[in-house]
Amino acid sequence: MDYLVRAPGGVALRDRKDTGIAISMATAEYRWRHLALLISILLLFVSAPFVVSLHDGILIMNVISVSVLVAGSYALSERKYLFAIAVVLSAITIVGTGLVLAFQQTWALVVSSSSIIVLVAFFCVTILSYVLRSGRVTSDKIFAAICVYMLLGYGWRFVYSILLELQPGSFVSTDELGRNDYIGRMLQLRYFSFMTLTTVGYGDIVPHSPAARTMAILEAVMGQFYLVALVGRLVGLHIVHGDVERSR
């Protein structure tokens, strides 16, 4: 018996076959959306040390950063209301970055870093909810899980940036940077963030104030819990799906 259903794109379909085709097309359309986000994040990390010293290095970094925002928003485009929120938060973040470049004062840096933290937290929560959703463990879910881990390290950098701006001397480093060297400090804090997240800790940057040490502890614990909980979840789902396929 024919019946009408509504496809993801809003087109009315008449039977189960048409519905299956529409769902497959919708799934294929978003299959690599988190891979695009992961590539843009890696591009941002790899290119930063090489382009910041150029004459237009800051402008180039801003362009690459915008690509991360676009890729992150695209990763949520399947869910329209989340996509709308991501676009608004991304726009606020771009404005905040412009304030830092224009004024280079404490309040501008705090506003900019705070907006980025909110955006990164939003991306992490929404993408992680997709990863933990019941269903088959696909390559896109694996890419999404990696994206969340990278975004965690990226976001904590701005937490440390706010802390360092409000409490100078929160970190002690073997390579001291000038207070006005914004790009150099951000690269240094990104390095510290990922060394803390992965619990490597080379010791060339050390949290000095109680607040900095507390934040470092929280990031390290979060990084380890994330890996243990997420890997366990993905492996568990993979085993369940394997048992189902073998029982058919």
Which pLDDT score, from 0 to 100, does residue 26 have? Answer: 41
Mean pLDDT (whole number) for 184-205: 88
How far, in Å, CA of 125 to CA of 99, rounded? 27
Mean pLDDT (whole number) for 193-198: 93
Which pLDDT score, from 0 to 100, does residue 177 have? Answer: 59
- Whether 206 has a pLDDT exceeding 80, the answer reads yes
- Whether 244 has a pLDDT exceeding 60, the answer reads no
- What is the DSSP secondary-structure string of 158-183? HHHHHHHHHSTTSEEESS---TT-HH
In percent, the amount of the chain with pLDDT more than 90 equals 20
Stated as kind and residue range, the H or E segment containing 10 is none
CATH number of 31-247: 1.10.287.70
**What are the extents of the domains in the chain?**
1-30, 31-247
Question: pLDDT tens across 78-132, in order?
Answer: 778 888 888 898 888 888 888 887 887 888 889 988 998 999 999 999 988 888 8
Residue 13 is given by DSSP the state E
Task: Please check whether residue 154 is in contact with residue 38, taking contact to mean a CB–CB distance below 8 angstroms.
Answer: no
pTM: 0.79
Split at pLDDT 50, 70, 90, the class of 196 is: very high
- Whether 171 has a pLDDT exceeding 50, the answer reads yes
How much is the mean pLDDT over the chain? Answer: 78
Q: Write out the E strands in 23-120.
A: none
Sign of the Cα torsion 184, 122, 39, 56 reads negative
Task: Please check whether residue 105 is in contact with residue 150, taking contact to mean a CB–CB distance below 8 angstroms.
Answer: no
b/e for 186-201, b at 16 or more Cβ within 10 A? bbbbbbbbbbbbeeee
